[in-house]
């Protein structure tokens, strides 16, 4: 790694409202797993944010309190348990701005939580914490919306973009094809040598993905498959280590040959 390069670890985890495969709801168990990941940036999906209700539903607050050195952002997608429900991003780097994009299409409310993260002075990462729908037609519409000028194709985005989360895409549907045409991705591994992320105990599908672009460089990636993680949620945490280097990022520039501005819903 060069002197000017910045390395960071990012992790995505659909925590299933902290309800495990053993039917036990335990924010403490989820927090323990999140802490084990030693990630600089955490992207969490299916989080309940109900601070005025039952302690089991103050999940966003409990997670935030467990990471006192991090800045947090929450994107509410729908009401639940007297509070809200959505995606949460935590970062040990400063979060400079937050925006939640509504990508609901006919069925359950869905969102994309966008945060601008300053990973080092003058170096901004455009991060998109994603949870797409479960139906193919729903994801087709959401995939087109993702690549529109309203989200990924925003003309003011200059630094590299990184998308991570639960895409609910277990086959190579339209969303996968569109994103792979503009971004790099990878197949994560764990000790069992299988890249699948869902369900946690006996993974059959790969629903959790990460897409990124230069000058981000993938250093390593794996799935977190401890005994506790196998039952804490119906997903496994996806972990990736990246390095940012090169004068292009230092100047705040991004390649403009991505073709996104011509791809709208």
What is the per-residue pLDDT for 108?
A: 85
What is the per-residue pLDDT for 264?
A: 28
What is the per-residue pLDDT for 254?
A: 47
CA proximity to 26, closest of 233, 236, 235: 233
Mark 55-79 as b/e (b = at least 16 C-beta within 10 Å).
ebbbbbbbbbebbeebbbbbbbbee
Domain borders along the chain are 8-245
What is the per-residue pLDDT for 4?
A: 75
Its CATH architecture, for the domain 8-245, is: 4-Layer Sandwich (3.60)
CA proximity to 33, closest of 13, 47, 48, 51: 13
| Pairing of the two strands 6-14 and 83-91 | unpaired
Contact partners, residue 245, CB within 8 Å, separation at least 6: 1, 2, 4, 5, 6, 215, 217
CA proximity to 96, closest of 77, 66, 76, 122: 122
Cα distance between residue 113 and residue 117, in whole Å: 12
Mean pLDDT by 10 residues, the chain (265 residues): 79 96 96 98 97 90 97 92 94 97 88 96 94 89 92 94 91 83 81 51 68 96 90 94 69 41 29
Q: Give Cα 213 to chain centroid, integer Å.
A: 15
pTM of the model: 0.88
Cα-only R_g, the chain? 17
What is the per-residue pLDDT for 225?
A: 86
DSSP tag of 79? E
What is the per-residue pLDDT for 220?
A: 93
> Which backbone phi and psi does 245 adopt, to 5 degrees?
-150, 170
Cα distance between residue 145 and residue 104, in whole Å: 10
Q: Hey, is 147 helix, strand or coil? A: coil
What is the per-residue pLDDT for 195?
A: 55
């Amino acid at each position: 790694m060069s002197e000017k390069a910045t390395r960071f670890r990012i992790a995505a985890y659909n925590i299933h409202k902290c309800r495990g495969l053993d039917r036990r709801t335990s924010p403490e168990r989820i927090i323990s797993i999140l802490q084990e990941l030693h990630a600089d940036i955490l992207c969490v999906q299916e989080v309940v944010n109900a601070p005025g209700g039952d302690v089991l539903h103050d999940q966003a607050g409990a997670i935030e309190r467990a990471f006192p050195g991090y800045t947090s952002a929450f994107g509410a997608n729908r009401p639940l348990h007297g509070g809200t429900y959505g995606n949460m991003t935590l970062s040990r780097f400063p979060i400079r701005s937050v925006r939640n994009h509504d990508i609901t299409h006919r069925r359950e409310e869905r969102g994309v939580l966008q945060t601008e993260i300053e990973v080092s002075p003058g170096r901004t990462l455009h991060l998109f914490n994603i949870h797409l729908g479960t139906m193919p037609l729903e994801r087709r519409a959401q995939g087109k919306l993702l690549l529109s000028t309203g989200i990924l194709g925003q003309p003011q985005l200059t630094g590299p973009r990184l998308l991570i989360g639960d895409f609910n895409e277990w086959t190579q549907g339209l969303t996968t094809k569109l994103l792979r045409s503009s971004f790099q991705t990878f197949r994560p591994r764990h000790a069992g040598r299988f890249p699948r992320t869902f369900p946690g105990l006996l993974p059959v599908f790969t629903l959790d993905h990460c897409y990124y672009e230069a000058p981000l460089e993938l250093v390593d990636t794996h799935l977190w498959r401890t005994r506790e993680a196998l039952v804490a949620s119906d997903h496994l945490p996806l972990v990736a280590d990246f390095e940012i280097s090169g004068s292009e990022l230092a100047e705040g520039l991004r390649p403009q040959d991505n073709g996104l501005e011509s791809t709208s819903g």
